[in-house]
Copies of this chain bind each other. A is one copy, B any other.
């Protein structure tokens, strides 16, 4: 198991990462200007960051409301048991529900926290009743409806 692969990156790489997190569509030419290198080594650095897995992927961020997704929620889910088989079965079901865009195993109040996005309250309720609560490993559920989102940064604070 080779997780935790330590990867090295310097001050310039950090700046590249900050810029690409905030704006992945920047041209290599502009990026090179911003970091004070010429295009060639800039591109080289970006490729290395991608190959090393520091940069995992690139994504377009959409406006949920403009595509008809008006309701976002967090749901605390308690499972009936905590054994590996149960958790894996739960995950397998969750994976197939596209409205569940995040699923984290947590300490504290619940066992899992989900982030769910759906059209409206009605379709949210339907989703919860017909899909999530139907998963047999699910014991308890507690919903927190997002009234408004004040901050949704895609930029991680890279430690010095």
Q: B-contacting residues of A (Cβ < 8 Å)?
A: 3-7, 9, 17, 20-25, 52-69, 72, 74, 91, 94-95, 98-110, 113, 117-119, 123, 142-159
Contacts and interface: CB of A to CB of B under 8 A. Distances in A.
Contacts of A23: 57-59
Contacts of A154: 57, 59, 61, 101
Nearest to A26: B58
Q: Nearest 5 A-B pairs (CB), nearest first? A: A20-B60, A108-B144, A24-B58, A59-B154, A103-B151
Kindly report how many copies of this chain are found in the complex they form together: 2
A53 B24 contact: no
A87 to B, nearest CB: 9
Interface of chain A, main secondary structure: mixed
Contacts of A109: 109, 142, 144
A60 B108 contact: no
A79 to B, nearest CB: 13
